[in-house]
Amino acid sequence: MQNSTQPEDLSKLTLLGREAKPSKKLETFPNRHPGRNYVVTLETTEFTCVCPMTGQPDFADLKIQYIPDASILESKSLKLYLWSYRNEGIFHEHVTNVILEDLVAALSPRWCKVTANFGVRGGISISVEAEYSKPGTSQP
Amino acid sequence: MQNSTQPEDLSKLTLLGREAKPSKKLETFPNRHPGRNYVVTLETTEFTCVCPMTGQPDFADLKIQYIPDASILESKSLKLYLWSYRNEGIFHEHVTNVILEDLVAALSPRWCKVTANFGVRGGISISVEAEYSKPGTSQP
Amino acid sequence: MQNSTQPEDLSKLTLLGREAKPSKKLETFPNRHPGRNYVVTLETTEFTCVCPMTGQPDFADLKIQYIPDASILESKSLKLYLWSYRNEGIFHEHVTNVILEDLVAALSPRWCKVTANFGVRGGISISVEAEYSKPGTSQP
Amino acid sequence: MQNSTQPEDLSKLTLLGREAKPSKKLETFPNRHPGRNYVVTLETTEFTCVCPMTGQPDFADLKIQYIPDASILESKSLKLYLWSYRNEGIFHEHVTNVILEDLVAALSPRWCKVTANFGVRGGISISVEAEYSKPGTSQP
Amino acid sequence: MQNSTQPEDLSKLTLLGREAKPSKKLETFPNRHPGRNYVVTLETTEFTCVCPMTGQPDFADLKIQYIPDASILESKSLKLYLWSYRNEGIFHEHVTNVILEDLVAALSPRWCKVTANFGVRGGISISVEAEYSKPGTSQP
Amino acid sequence: MQNSTQPEDLSKLTLLGREAKPSKKLETFPNRHPGRNYVVTLETTEFTCVCPMTGQPDFADLKIQYIPDASILESKSLKLYLWSYRNEGIFHEHVTNVILEDLVAALSPRWCKVTANFGVRGGISISVEAEYSKPGTSQP
Amino acid sequence: MQNSTQPEDLSKLTLLGREAKPSKKLETFPNRHPGRNYVVTLETTEFTCVCPMTGQPDFADLKIQYIPDASILESKSLKLYLWSYRNEGIFHEHVTNVILEDLVAALSPRWCKVTANFGVRGGISISVEAEYSKPGTSQP
Amino acid sequence: MQNSTQPEDLSKLTLLGREAKPSKKLETFPNRHPGRNYVVTLETTEFTCVCPMTGQPDFADLKIQYIPDASILESKSLKLYLWSYRNEGIFHEHVTNVILEDLVAALSPRWCKVTANFGVRGGISISVEAEYSKPGTSQP
Amino acid sequence: MQNSTQPEDLSKLTLLGREAKPSKKLETFPNRHPGRNYVVTLETTEFTCVCPMTGQPDFADLKIQYIPDASILESKSLKLYLWSYRNEGIFHEHVTNVILEDLVAALSPRWCKVTANFGVRGGISISVEAEYSKPGTSQP
Amino acid sequence: MQNSTQPEDLSKLTLLGREAKPSKKLETFPNRHPGRNYVVTLETTEFTCVCPMTGQPDFADLKIQYIPDASILESKSLKLYLWSYRNEGIFHEHVTNVILEDLVAALSPRWCKVTANFGVRGGISISVEAEYSKPGTSQP
Ligand SMILES: [Ca+2]
Ligand SMILES: [Ca+2]
Ligand SMILES: [Ca+2]
Ligand SMILES: [Ca+2]
Ligand SMILES: [Ca+2]
Ligand SMILES: [Ca+2]
Ligand SMILES: [Ca+2]
Ligand SMILES: [Ca+2]
Ligand SMILES: [Ca+2]
Ligand SMILES: [Ca+2]
Ligand SMILES: [Ca+2]
Ligand SMILES: [Ca+2]
Ligand SMILES: [Ca+2]
Ligand SMILES: [Ca+2]
Ligand SMILES: [Ca+2]
Ligand SMILES: [Ca+2]
């Protein structure tokens, strides 16, 4: 299309970042305050996956909360991780739990909760809240 | 009416969905994370039934929340179920409890709560909150 | 249903209003200030009709605004008029214009505008704004 | 007044309701789900009484919440009951408690709470929250 | 009633204001800046009158705006004036215009506008906006 | 100033209240429902005192909540009491506690809480919440 | 994944819609009120495309407004059309204009406006508003 | 008072600003972009003066807007200027205009507007908007 | 500090972006729809510069709007440009105009407007709106 | 720059504060109500530090809450303390905990909580909540 973005439009941009890829790898850095139970909350309004029945896109706002143990989640890797669902067919209730399980595996947190608010379908919106506690940790 | 929708208006529409019907059947699919107590919330601003005294329409916003056991509620069937109240004469307090009981029967959930906010009548709005817990399940 | 509203539930209610019916008749009373162009606005969040393609219910918030000439709209008759659409199959764009035309016929207003905001379908909401001016009347 | 509502303005209105009167009688209908503790909330922004000291009108938003036992409050009778305060001189703190007591007498509820938010006087607003529990009923 | 406000409750209050009465008199004080067209806005959420058909109370939020000429409206007198409608039976569209006309008579303003937003009846709310301009004054 | 309020501007105003004075006296009237623990909340956005360091004015929104025992606070006396701080130099944390202590002395309440939200200074806002419980009274 | 949606989860769902595909085809139905210039507004919070430089997903809220001439846009076809951008690399400013041009080609409207609000990147959000008018049509 | 701020509390504070005084002097600095008509807006929620009739404090939110000519208003001097009204008895409509006139005298702006929103008295709030234009300057 | 971020914390992060620098260079890409006057809006809540008098940091929310001619602003370069003010001492009214002038020089837009809302100082907030029009372009 | 703030612009400003410097010193004044556990909350929308990986600025809204023991935090010193992070490279999770620890060291409070809400990066926002309790003090 003549009226859309052309390859040569990009040729003089020197500051904008370069190519990235979706990834299932969640990176971490060390928690320097493991003596304290504190809560980290990450939120995005930019999650999308696909309905396993109709193949049509679904959209959600996500909230991820956790109490770190030894590791803190690096947020750029979370962005690439969430991107990896862009073409996956999965029900709302399933994907929320799967994200929780992947976070627990990567972070080994003391506590973690994932909340997903999906857009209206057929006049009805759906949200799902799932949480995990390491045995012996009280919830915040 | 000449100025309203005509049968031939529909003849070239190839993408829009086809006819549906109200139904009392609530369909489900399997819960793949039964080891975790998590909360699913469905909300709609499109519920209507009829006043049993005057026959006039009533309108409500509905919130349905539950902790699934083996089954998850499929939301299209919920839409058709709620549609089935369109011509039913029933008081606000009754219909909220009846919906709760139908959900409990269909889902056998660990916990379920129905909240209905009805529109203003005579300067007064009414909302009703009813909840159910399977014996041995603590509320979220 | 044993757990729903029973006929005998109504038997001791002496204050609640009695039966009403939908109606296409819009009643009016005299405008006592025809020397002034002033604006009357009626709003409801309780409009419903039916999709002419799928037969499923649609819901809208309606705003009706007009500058009266000799007549003012009585709002109880408007309620019964809007109720008359409950089982009519009609597209959003059509029904908004038809309501405007019925109001113009009943009120002969100097100016009139109907705004209808319909609920989300397929991730997309639709609103329609249609207005009429009697020749020689400037809009407010 | 020539420019105000005239008796003959009413003569052609066939749909609008007829005369009503304030009343201290609170009517009820049967609770069909007494096996469940559920909460009913009634709200109005249209309460007015009179200052016992100055005779000037006071205005409040009211919220009434209760867990029914055998009886459910019919809301039209509540409207007429609240109207009965229109000419009563009574302090904010007193009227909130008196309404609570009248509701408890009429409904014999398991729990009841009345919240009244009165408008600003002398730069200060006042709200009052009073609640009642039947012995052995825990609050919601 | 033993549990309501008693005459002796008032006996020790030395600071609270004394009795007032509703009044149709609108008082003014001089405009000290008549060389400038400026806008004064008075708002209240505490207006009530009576339905001329049913005798039931109606409630509105009022906004009064004007460009003063020689006189400015004293707001305590406005309060007593609005109180005078407490027992008057009058339709929404009529009372808004009558208030405008009384303000124009009392203030002789360059411009004046009255907006009244009445509460929901039968699922429908009504608001009325009426304005006046002295010949030769442009609206703000 | 010729363009400001002149003494003669006041001469024709017959309805507006007369002079008042700041006062440290908090007046009360009897609680007619001492058998019930209920909460009264008074709020104002019109509190001002002075910074003890710079002498500059400070401004706060205040919320006063209490459970009455034998006495209820008359709000006009509260207005005059709060006015008494207009020229007092006192830090935010101190004045909130002092107001709480004066209320406890005047009302002998079962419970009382004062919340003060002061405006931004140096990009930082400060709020203070202080509360009192009569021994043996649980907080609401 | 054992914990995600399985093919057999879908086997008992009889009510949920079947497969759909993205499409560039915008379908229409006849405008039954071409004698009136009225405005139709379609809004979605579910638009996504891809950054042409980095390949990463972008997300936007879209508002489409138009005055129909002979044709009205069918919203299900709009949904499939917007889906077609899911894998397209295109800058925000370009895609907003391209959507406008496709709508103008499909609808031949009297007036059309597209507003796209994209999410924050590098602490900066971008929105784009583009509009078209058929010669001789004034904007609403 | 033992429980209030003590002089010695101040003795170790080295950073908090020192004493200031109310002042009628409005200071300015040079406008470095006089070739452009641009708008500066200053807002405060901390204005107080006194009712000339009752001597009681009044409170307002103020918005000051202007198009500078040669001078820009320094905001610390505005703060001290507004403080100077703390003990002045003046009606709402008068003080808004007097502030406008003082700003015009100090800044000689191309355009200036003052908006004052005063708190509720007797259930009624008052706001005043006054503006000035240098001959030949169009309003923004 | 042992409890703060350590250089080795960064060593295993492979996905997070690398070092960047503030820059006065504003990059652009070609406008592919120059035949249409359309508006692009960029907003950030992350602008900071320094008070030229006290050296203390100031903070603002910025809105940049423009109608492109041949060039569109690349937003990553805008981010680095705004960063360049982090250590600059400059008054609010000056910096808003300087940013406008730099944008006009870099983009040669048909129209451009910069709005800056600075935080509260001394109880007063300041915002500045400055705009530019290429001769012969009407504002949006 | 000719169009920016000039040194001589400052020469006639007599009221604006003089130079200040960032500082790690947190000043206090005595708590005059140590017999009561009360909560002080300080909030700012003006915190900025630097990403330790990319060197780019980060921005946050901060909330600091504490129950004082013997000392109250002077807010001007807090402002200078927060300023000291302007050029520090530190992750969100680390800086929130470090601020908490510095406050605990300076104030020896009975309880303290720091909440930091950082701006969106890569479509994801991060907030961190950390709290401290002196042994034997219950949280508010
Ligand atoms: Ca979204
Ligand atoms: Ca929990
Ligand atoms: Ca519960
Ligand atoms: Ca609705
Ligand atoms: Ca129009
Ligand atoms: Ca009210
Ligand atoms: Ca309770
Ligand atoms: Ca009201
Ligand atoms: Ca007008
Ligand atoms: Ca205030
Ligand atoms: Ca408490
Ligand atoms: Ca336009
Ligand atoms: Ca103007
Ligand atoms: Ca403009
Ligand atoms: Ca900010
Ligand atoms: Ca806690």
Q: Which of C9, C49, C58, C61 is catalytic?
A: C58
Task: Tell me the pLDDT of chain G (140 aa) as tens digits.
Answer: 577 888 777 776 676 666 789 999 999 999 999 999 999 999 999 999 999 988 999 999 999 999 999 999 999 999 999 999 999 999 999 999 999 999 999 999 999 999 999 999 999 999 999 999 998 877 78
Return the partners of chain D (3 or more C-beta pairs < 8 Å).
B, C, E, F, H
pLDDT of E35 strictly over 60: yes
pLDDT of I15 strictly over 90: no
The reply to whether residue H53 touches residue F97, judged by beta carbons under 8 angstroms, is no
Instruction: Please state, in angstroms and rounded to a whole number, the distance separating the CA atoms of residues G133 and A35.
Output: 64
Q: Mutate one of H8, H50, H56, H58 to test the F interface: name it (highest F CB count within 10 A).
A: H56
- Do H82 and H43 contact (CB within 8 A), yes or no? no
Of all ligands present, the nearest one to the C-alpha of J39 is 11
Q: Pick from J19, J45, J95: which is nearest to I54 by CB?
A: J19
**Could you say which of 1.20.1260.10, 3.30.1130.10, 3.20.20.80, 3.20.20.70 is the CATH number of the domain covering A21-133?**
3.30.1130.10
pLDDT band at B103 (very low <50, low <70, confident <90, very high): very high
Whole-number pLDDT of residue B127? 98
**Could you say which of 3.30.1370.60, 3.90.230.10, 3.30.1130.10, 3.20.20.70 is the CATH number of the domain covering I22-133?**
3.30.1130.10
Pick the range with the lowest mean pLDDT from B52-56, D44-48, F4-8, I116-120: F4-8
Give, for J45, the enclosing helix (H) or strand (E): strand J39-50
pLDDT of H101 strictly over 90: yes
Q: Which residues of chain F make contact with H19, given a CB cutoff of 8 A?
A: 53-55
State the architecture of B23-126 in CATH terms: 2-Layer Sandwich (3.30)
Whole-number pLDDT of residue G15? 67
Is D13 flagged in the annotation as binding? no
Whole-number pLDDT of residue E45? 98
Q: Pick from F96, F126, F130: which is nearest to J42 by CB?
A: F126
Q: Pick from F14, F16, F30: which is nearest to E9 by CB?
A: F30
Residue entry with tokens 């793949």: B32
pLDDT band at D140 (very low <50, low <70, confident <90, very high): confident
Whole-number pLDDT of residue B117? 98
The reply to whether residue A54 touches residue G20, judged by beta carbons under 8 angstroms, is yes
pLDDT band at E104 (very low <50, low <70, confident <90, very high): very high
What is the average per-residue pLDDT within H60-79? 96
Q: Which residues, 6 or more positions from F11, have their beta carbon under 8 angstroms from its beta carbon?
A: none
Instruction: Please state, in angstroms and rounded to a whole number, the distance separating the CA atoms of residues B23 and E14.
Output: 68
pLDDT band at B15 (very low <50, low <70, confident <90, very high): low
The reply to whether residue C94 touches residue B5, judged by beta carbons under 8 angstroms, is yes
Coil, strand or helix: which one is D137?
coil
The reply to whether residue B93 touches residue D79, judged by beta carbons under 8 angstroms, is no
Positive or negative torsion for Cα G14, G16, G19, G20: positive
pLDDT of C117 strictly over 90: yes
pLDDT band at E16 (very low <50, low <70, confident <90, very high): low
pLDDT band at H17 (very low <50, low <70, confident <90, very high): low
Kindly list the protein residues that place their beta carbon closer than 5 angstroms to ligand 5, a single-atom ion.
C 139
Residue entry with tokens 């008052």: H126
> Mean pLDDT in chain D?
92
Calculate how close chain B gets to C34, using CA atoms only, in Å: 30
Looking at domain F23-133, its CATH class is: alpha beta
pLDDT band at D116 (very low <50, low <70, confident <90, very high): very high
Instruction: Output A117 or J8, whichever has higher pLDDT.
Output: A117
Instruction: Output H27 or A6, whichever has higher pLDDT.
Output: H27
Q: Which of G51, G61, G69, G102 is catalytic?
A: G51
Whole-number pLDDT of residue A119? 97
Whole-number pLDDT of residue B18? 62
The token pair that represents D119 in the structure block: 């408008």
Per-residue model confidence as pLDDT tens digits over B47-63: 999 999 889 999 999 99
Q: Mutate one of H15, H46, H65, H75 to test the I interface: name it (highest I CB count within 10 A).
A: H75
The token pair that represents D79 in the structure block: 């409207």
What is the average per-residue pLDDT within J109-130? 97
pLDDT of A67 strictly over 80: yes
pLDDT band at J6 (very low <50, low <70, confident <90, very high): confident
Beta bridge partners of E127: C41, E117
The reply to whether residue B126 touches residue D75, judged by beta carbons under 8 angstroms, is yes
Q: Mutate one of D2, D29, D75 to test the C interface: name it (highest C CB count within 10 A).
A: D29
What is the average per-residue pLDDT within A100-125? 97
List alpha helices for chain A, DSSP H: 75-83, 92-107
What is the average per-residue pLDDT within A45-63? 95
Whole-number pLDDT of residue F18? 65
What percentage of chain A has pLDDT greater than the value 90? 79
- Judging contact as 3 or more Cβ pairs under 8 Å, the answer for C and H is no
Whole-number pLDDT of residue D18? 62
Q: Give the domain ranges of chain C.
A: 23-133
Whole-number pLDDT of residue J137? 79
Strands G39-50 and G57-67: antiparallel
Instruction: Please state, in angstroms and rounded to a whole number, the distance separating the CA atoms of residues F77 and E113.
Output: 37
The residue in chain C having the minimum alpha-carbon distance to the alpha carbon of residue B101 is C3
Instruction: Please state, in angstroms and rounded to a whole number, the distance separating the CA atoms of residues G7 and I95.
Output: 60
Which of E40, E46, E68 shows the shortest CA–CA distance to E59?
Answer: E46
CATH number of the E36-133 domain: 3.30.1130.10
Whole-number pLDDT of residue C100? 98
Instruction: Please state, in angstroms and rounded to a whole number, the distance separating the CA atoms of residues C74 and C79.
Output: 9
Q: Pick from H97, H121, H126: which is nearest to E36 by CB?
A: H97
Q: Distance, CA D132 to ligand 8 centroid (Å)?
A: 27
The token pair that represents A109 in the structure block: 């947190």
User: In angstroms, how far apart are the furthest CA atoms of chain F?
Assistant: 62
Pick the range with the lowest mean pLDDT from D130-134, E136-140, G25-29: E136-140
Instruction: Please state, in angstroms and rounded to a whole number, the distance separating the CA atoms of residues B4 and C84.
Output: 14
The reply to whether residue D97 touches residue E3, judged by beta carbons under 8 angstroms, is yes
Q: Which residues of chain J make contact with I94, given a CB cutoff of 8 A?
A: 3-5
pLDDT band at H118 (very low <50, low <70, confident <90, very high): very high
What is the average per-residue pLDDT within C61-89? 97
The reply to whether residue E55 touches residue D20, judged by beta carbons under 8 angstroms, is yes
The angle formed by the CA atoms of residues F76, F80 and F82, to the nearest 5 degrees, is 110
pLDDT band at B107 (very low <50, low <70, confident <90, very high): very high
What is the average per-residue pLDDT within F36-63? 96
State the architecture of D25-133 in CATH terms: 2-Layer Sandwich (3.30)
Q: Distance, CA A67 to ligand 16 centroid (Å)?
A: 13
Instruction: Please state, in angstroms and rounded to a whole number, the distance separating the CA atoms of residues F92 and J111.
Output: 19
Is H75 flagged in the annotation as binding? yes
- Do D75 and D66 contact (CB within 8 A), yes or no? no
Q: Pick from H38, H43, H46: which is nearest to I128 by CB?
A: H38
> Mean pLDDT in chain C?
92
Whole-number pLDDT of residue F2? 75
The residue in chain C having the minimum alpha-carbon distance to the alpha carbon of residue E96 is C38
Whole-number pLDDT of residue A54? 87
pLDDT of C1 strictly over 60: no
- Do E93 and C72 contact (CB within 8 A), yes or no? yes
Q: Pick from A1, A18, A98: which is nearest to G54 by CB?
A: A18
The residue in chain B having the minimum alpha-carbon distance to the alpha carbon of residue D62 is B124
Q: Distance, CA J118 to ligand 2 centroid (Å)?
A: 24
Query: Which amino acids of E are annotated catalytic?
Result: 51, 58
> Which range in A136-140, C37-41, J11-15 is most confidently predicted, on average pLDDT?
C37-41
Calculate how close chain I gets to H36, using CA atoms only, in Å: 8
pLDDT of B13 strictly over 80: no
Instruction: Please state, in angstroms and rounded to a whole number, the distance separating the CA atoms of residues H13 and H5.
Output: 13
Q: Which residues of chain D make contact with C20, given a CB cutoff of 8 A?
A: 15
Q: Distance, CA A39 to ligand 2 centroid (Å)?
A: 13
Whole-number pLDDT of residue E11? 77
Per-residue model confidence as pLDDT tens digits over I19-70: 789 999 999 999 999 999 999 999 999 999 999 888 999 999 999 999 999 9
Beta bridge partners of E29: E72
Q: Which of B49, B51, B61, B112 is catalytic?
A: B51
What is the average per-residue pLDDT within E24-47? 96
Chains C–E, number of C-beta pairs less than 8 Å apart:
55
pLDDT band at B10 (very low <50, low <70, confident <90, very high): confident
Q: Which residues of chain H make contact with J11, given a CB cutoff of 8 A?
A: none
Give, for E99, the enclosing helix (H) or strand (E): helix E92-107
The reply to whether residue J27 touches residue H10, judged by beta carbons under 8 angstroms, is no
Strands D71-73 and D28-30: antiparallel
State the architecture of G23-122 in CATH terms: 2-Layer Sandwich (3.30)
Q: Which residues of chain A make contact with I3, given a CB cutoff of 8 A?
A: 32-33
Q: Distance, CA J111 to ligand 11 centroid (Å)?
A: 15
